[in-house]
Each structure stands twice: as C-alpha cells, then as structure tokens.
Structure 1
C-alpha cells in the first residue's frame, strides 16, 4: 500500500517551487521547537554506548513515563523500528486496527502476512482478532479511548495468546490518557515516540513499555547498540530536566493556541486533534491543500478522507500570522 506521510517538504518544493526558507511546514505532528540539548562528552561520540549509559536512560524514561517496577522498557531507533517487529512476536493471525489512524501499523502487518481488519471503535474488534492496535490519542483526529476499555481489551487478547499495541506517540502533552503505569503483563505493549513532543524526530528514538519477556525478545531482535550514545544522553537530559520541561510544555500550549486562533480568524472548522496538531474539515480540502502549497504552506491531506486536513504547529507568532495571511488568500482562490 502507498502511504502518505507528513514532512515531505523536498517533494513539495520540487513541485511548487521556492526554498525551504520560503515554506511554513505544518504537515507533521512534530513540535517545531527542539528541546535544548545538553553538552555531550567527546567519548560518547567515540565509543559504543555501554550498558550503564543505556540503563541510566531507561531509568529516566521509567520515571518520566510513570512505568511500574515490574514492567520492562526497550529502547529503539524510533518507534517505526518497533512497529516492524510487532507482527513477528506471535504466530500470524488476525490483527484489528482501530482507525482511521497512522497507516504504518496496517502496512507492516499486511506485509508480514497477517489478516488486517479495520475497525471504527474498540467495541467493533472481532473475537477472531489475536492482536489489536489503538493509537491513543489518535492520529489524525485526537480520539481518546478510555483506560478501562484498553486494559480490558489487553487482558482479552492475552487470553487469546496475543496482545494489545497502544501507540502513545502523541500522549506526552496528555499524560492523563497514558496507560504506561499499567504495563508489565504480556498482553500489553505501549509504544512511546521521543521525537514528536521533544521536537527531535531526527534523533530517531522510541520506547516499548511491556513485560520483561516481550522486552527481552524485542531487544534481541534489534541487536546490540540499537540506540546511539548521543541519543541516550539527550533522552536522559530531556526526561530529567523538570524546570526546562515545564517551560517547554508552556510554549507548546501557547503554540497550540496560536494555531486555533488562525482557524477562528480564517473560518476553518477544527474538528479534532491534540496539543501537537489539529484536524480541520473543509468541503474542498484537497483544493485548499493545493492552494496552500502554491503559497508555500505545507499541511497534511488524506486520500481516505477527502474533507480532512491536518495542521501542525506554527513555531511562533510570526509564522502564525504568515500562515493566517496565506490561508485567507488560498481560501479566496478556491472560492473564485
């Protein structure tokens, strides 16, 4: 299956022209501000990451995500690396994916020979499913499934010899939605993306929170030194600098307010989202996408939902104002 992703700015430039500096890229759910980086000792670059460095980063992740002592954590070079392994953890069968959602889950299971059933809710998951995937909060609409429902589903799937995957890539600004504290049994795998909230997607770092047995299998599959030393140092710093985290989160909240204000001023209808992105409904969404690209604003469109556009966060007031002005012109263009 052909999957569209946000962040394809080079492709947009090749079609619509301009330079990277000309564009406002709102096509991803990645924080446009990077978390302040620590100083990194030269030997971290020069040596393979040792066990103590990995352990300290995982301890920091355990505290930050609120993971119980009986659960285990596996670090990976991005959650995509973990997603690729999920179909191999149990014998092939049927996987239910609650959607519409991030399409890499479906693609990965299909390529591994699983039967994929798409469901519009947790209640619609068939009894024949051995594995289920729930993105929570969901991408792109921000839908949230209650903890009790997820935990009940995880136990049901465990009894079938499978497990529940809860992808919490966008949960950092919404910790109340997370079920990380309930990890530890074989029926539940929680995936955490480091790069989205911390604005460091290029670092390629993610975590699986699960049972010790599954964590061991994941770690073995990825092999030694799966995560770089600099990534581990940066993660530990970000997870433990509480003062910087508070300020960083406040700026994220401010940015989200700037985005909603643009919708109010331009008349766009916001129908969902998280603190990292918003979903907008428009009867001519694909035409608006093209008109925005012509004015060097990149957003995310969906082939499966022709009335939807997803908007990421502007960096600051200047970006928000430029975005507002260009959006008004784009809207006028598609009305004429």
Structure 2
C-alpha cells in the first residue's frame, strides 16, 4: 500500500522517520556530511554523532556542497521555510554522490501536498535515500510510522539495525486505511491548498511576507520572541526559531472561529 501511494519500488516501514534519522548515521563510517539549513534540527544533531564531520549550508549553497561531501541531507519541501529543490537537481546530486559511495538523503515528510516534487520513485538507485511520514499530511503524528525508500542492501542493513516488530499492529491497520483512501487524499489536498493560500493572504494583509507549504508558513521576524509571546497571550501557539534564521512558523487554523482569533491577534500585533 505504501509503495503504491508513494510510487517507490521498495520501502521499509519504521517507527516514524525519527527512527531512520537516528539510525542512518550509524550505518556509515565517519563521513563529510552537509545538512541543509535551516531545517529539522534532528538531522544535524544525529549526523554530528558517530564520528562524522558536520557542516550546515543554506539551500543556495547545496550545489557546491555536493562536490566535497560524502552525505548531503535535504528536506524537500523544507521545514520550516518551504524551500524546494527540483527533482532533476536532486537526482543529479544523488548520482554525483553515489559515484564516490555517498548518499543523498531527502526528507519528504511534508511532501504529500506536492507529489510532483518526490524522488521516491527513483530510490532504487544507489546513493538515494528518501524518508516519508504519515504524521503530517494524514495528521497521525502519534501513530509513530514512517517509511524509508532506498536500494535493497541499505534497506536490509537498516532493518537489521532497527530490529523486528518496528511498527505496531494498530499502526499498520490505521496506515493501510489512510494510504488506500484516495478520495480522502484528494479532498485533503484541495482543502489544504485553499487554506494555505488563505493563510498566506491573511499574513500579507498584515505586512508579513511568508513562505512555506499548504500546511504551514514561515517568515524571518526581527522580534520572534515578542511575536511568540504575543500570540501565546491570545492562546495561539507558534513555532519560535531563535537561532540561525530567526523567525516564526505558523500552522493552519482548523475552524472558522480559530481563523478569526488569528486575524484578531495579527491586528493587535500590527498596532504595537
């Protein structure tokens, strides 16, 4: 069911992509690793362990980073900025890295709303590792289920490291229903695209030029701590980024009254 949904030739189910993020660095000898930044912090954290040499690079610098790295890790679309790398570029990077025994790790956890960006269909080739999650698009974060697409020897090594029974029976049952429900998936993509555009326009109406995905928006903020505290005072929780690219990530309101609360809070912020 997962191979059909993601279009991948082979997949390994894991207890959330976090399990793979923690395990993959243990499957390589000490390597030169570049992690795209800013992005999900757990990638850089775990590649900094196990003897690897880690650096972080902005998306505009990744093309150069491929030339002198053994492993490159990129989120596509990126969390939190929404930056994307075209599939043709990713596949070119994967070939260059594979030629010297390297890996391109592509985290597509937020890729369900932009399936044309996915390179999972090519993950049978050497050097390309793709991570997918049911936690974001399907809203099943507590299920602890993700998938890794890669060539067979790497999947076998990862499975051996993680051990048996990585995914619970209830998680399997729920995931089968989600992955096979094409009607719900289509409706969800349409709803998220509509709501994502609405959020972008709402932010723009209050002077905030944001980027992101249909699921969230991000922007650099001069006073991110103040904005975070202001929204929290209105019972709205945003993601605060204090280091590196200082900014704010805001997810989608779920109900009309919540949209009204966000708009009111933004109006109060612009008056400060």
Which range, TM-score by smaller chain?
Answer: over 0.9
TM-score norm. by structure 1 comes to 0.77
1:192 is displaced (CA, Å) by 0.3
- Distance in 1 (CA, whole Å) between partners of 2:205 and 2:96 is 47
Hey, what does 1:330 align to over in structure 2? 269
1:257 is displaced (CA, Å) by 3.1
On the 8 A contact 1:258/1:317 being kept in 2, the answer is: no
Deviations 1:81-102 (A, max 9, x none): 0000111222111101122211
Tell me the SS of whatever aligns to 2:39. Answer: coil
Hey, what does 1:15 align to over in structure 2? none
Alpha-carbon RMSD: 1.6
On the 8 A contact 2:66/2:96 being kept in 1, the answer is: no
Hey, what does 1:277 align to over in structure 2? 216
1:307 is displaced (CA, Å) by 4.6
Higher RCO, Cα 8 Å, sep 6+? 1
Compared CA separation, residues 265 and 119, structure 1 to 2 (3 A): closer
On the 8 A contact 2:36/2:73 being kept in 1, the answer is: yes
1:317 is displaced (CA, Å) by 1.6
Hey, what does 1:65 align to over in structure 2? 6
- Distance in 2 (CA, whole Å) between partners of 1:158 and 1:246 is 35
What aligned pairs does 1:118-133 form with structure 2 within 5 A after superposition? Answer: 118-120=56-58, 121-125=61-65, 127-133=67-73
Hey, what does 1:98 align to over in structure 2? 36
Hey, what does 2:242 align to over in structure 1? 303
Deviations 1:181-226 (A, max 9, x none): 1110221100001110001101111000011111111111111110
Tell me the SS of whatever aligns to 1:233. Answer: helix
Determine if the alignment matches structure 1 residue 89 to structure 2 residue 27: yes
Pairs aligned (count): 270
Q: 1:108 aligns with which of 5, 23, 46?
A: 46
Tell me the SS of whatever aligns to 2:74. Answer: strand
On the 8 A contact 2:32/2:53 being kept in 1, the answer is: yes
Deviations 1:128-168 (A, max 9, x none): 31111011111111111121221121122112222110000
- Distance in 2 (CA, whole Å) between partners of 1:321 and 1:145 is 34
- Distance in 2 (CA, whole Å) between partners of 1:126 and 1:263 is 35
Where structure 2 has 5 or more consecutive residues not aligned to the other structure, the ranges are: none
1:126 is displaced (CA, Å) by 5.3
Where structure 1 has 5 or more consecutive residues not aligned to the other structure, the ranges are: 1-59
On the 8 A contact 2:66/2:97 being kept in 1, the answer is: no
Hey, what does 1:145 align to over in structure 2? 85
- Distance in 1 (CA, whole Å) between partners of 2:62 and 2:232 is 36
Greater alpha carbon shift after TM alignment, 282-291 vs 80-89: 282-291
Hey, what does 2:15 align to over in structure 1? 77
Tell me the SS of whatever aligns to 1:253. Answer: helix
Compared CA separation, residues 126 and 187, structure 1 to 2 (3 A): closer
On the 8 A contact 2:38/2:244 being kept in 1, the answer is: no
